Chain A
Amino acid sequence: DSGVTQTPKHLITATGQRVTLRCSPRSGDLSVYWYQQSLDQGLQFLIQYYNGEERAKGNILERFSAQQFPDLHSELNLSSLELGDSALYFCASSVAGQVSNTGELFFGEGSRLTVL
């Protein structure tokens, strides 16, 4: 158990809909990272938050947004869903804000999104 909690574990929805994925980081970790894993794109970095502020941005679509709340949990919002958004969405956490300083990331078990 990594200590990172993601909900829901599975989600099935229709094209055009909006969903919210939730992540609670390990106790004491200030950084939260979101990754998307799909068969054709592999594991793609989406966005990082550190102590409530956006720290780094990756290949995140404009239809997607995220935030980190004062209690450090994070939400990833996916809107106007398309079939191609079907994927595993992972949240990871670390203590520090710079990955180069912090070393390893601790991953949750992921939220599997299926868009029909």
Chain B
Amino acid sequence: AQRVTQPEKLLSVFKGAPVELKCNYSYSGSPELFWYVQYSRQRLQLLLRHISRESIKGFTADLNKGETSFHLKKPFAQEEDSAMYYCALSLPGNTGKLIFGQGTTLQVKP
């Protein structure tokens, strides 16, 4: 079965430090990968998607099909990056349903 794994429940870093939130998936085909973020008291929202190859709020993520990973990175963390981050996978086909990982809480300390 398709699965998304985020091995860290909590990642705590100091402001200005690099950040890497890990995401691994199990699927042999060509999925679409996403990172969704939920800031405190806000709804879940898209941060970035693999297909766009864009950088949002300084975050980037590269799809590594060999390692089946889609890690989220930022060179210099800011306090406002503190949030819950979910990696999600969407399979080819017409549904578009998302399979989410368990989430990682990022805590950026001053």
Q: Do the two chains belong together in a single complex?
A: no
Q: Which residues of B contact A (CB under 8 A)?
A: none
Q: Which residues of A contact B (CB under 8 A)?
A: none
